């Protein structure tokens, strides 16, 4: 069970580190790479709190071995607003979309993916994309309303 050296691009920066084969990407991101926005929620793919982009698609980082990320391009919430807040982030703040905020990183990445795929996403497409991100506080409505506003092109830039 020897350690394996991996290299990945994390939020645009090349990082090299040693991992054990049994290390999970979520734990490595948080504990070894210092990126804290992906959260530990259910640890089995049900809640979506650990969502990150891996090679352009959202994945459950709790269900990815760290070694699998060797050579991958990983983007977390910290990475998407490097050049200032996105339209979605602005709209979420404006609408007080989140309460405790624990699910926010995962929800925001899923929403970004939804809009990347469907820039004019329908209400159903939005719900479908967010359905894997559990939120216990908000009843989802203020989250969905913000995404709809951006999808309809009505959000302020």
Question: 40-52 burial, b for 16+ CB within 10 Å, e for fewer?
Answer: ebeeeeebbbbbb
Under rule CB under 8 A, which residues in 9-68 are in contact with other proteins? 20-24, 27, 30, 34, 36-37, 39-49, 51, 57-60, 62-65, 67-68
69, 74, 75, 130: which one contacts other proteins (CB under 8 A)?
A: 130
Q: How far is the CB of 23 from other proteins (least distance, A)?
A: 8
- Closest approach, Cβ 144 to other proteins, in A, equals 6
As a whole number of angstroms, the distance between CA 47 and CA 147 comes to: 19
CA distance 40 to 35: 12
Question: Is 116 a residue that touches other proteins (CB under 8 A)?
Answer: no
Q: What's the CA gap between 124 and 23, in Å, rounded?
A: 36
CB of residue 35 to other proteins, shortest distance in Å: 9
Q: How many residues bind other proteins (CB under 8 A)?
A: 75
Provide, rounded to whole angstroms, the least separation between the CB of residue 154 and other proteins. 18
Residues numbered 73-102 forming contacts with other proteins, rule: CB under 8 A? 76-78, 81, 85, 89, 92-94, 96-102
Which of 42/152 has CB closer to other proteins? 42
Helix/strand/coil percent split, the chain, to 5: 40, 15, 45
| Pick 17 or 101: Cβ nearer other proteins | 101
Instruction: Supply the DSSP string of 122-139, one letter for each residue.
Output: -HHHHHHHHTTS--SSS-
For residues 72 and 63, give the distance between their C-alpha atoms in angstroms, rounded to a whole number.
Answer: 15
**141 makes contact with other proteins (CB under 8 A):** yes
């Amino acid at each position: 069970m020897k350690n394996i050296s991996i290299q990945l691009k994390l939020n645009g920066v090349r990082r090299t580190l040693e991992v054990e084969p049994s290390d999970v990407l979520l734990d490595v991101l948080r504990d070894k790479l210092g990126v804290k926005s992906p959260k530990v929620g259910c640890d089995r793919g049900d809640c979506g709190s650990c969502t990150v982009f891996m090679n352009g698609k959202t994945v459950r980082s709790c269900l990815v071995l760290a070694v699998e990320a060797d050579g991958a391009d990983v983007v977390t919430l910290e990475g998407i607003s490097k050049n200032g807040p996105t339209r979605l982030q602005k709209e979420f703040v404006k609408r007080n979309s989140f309460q405790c905020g624990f699910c926010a990183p995962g929800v925001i990445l899923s929403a970004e993916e939804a809009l990347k795929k469907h820039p004019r996403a329908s209400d159903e497409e939005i719900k479908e994309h967010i359905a894997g991100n559990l939120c216990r506080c908000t009843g989802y409505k203020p989250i969905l309303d913000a995404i709809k506003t951006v999808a309809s092109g009505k959000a302020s830039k």
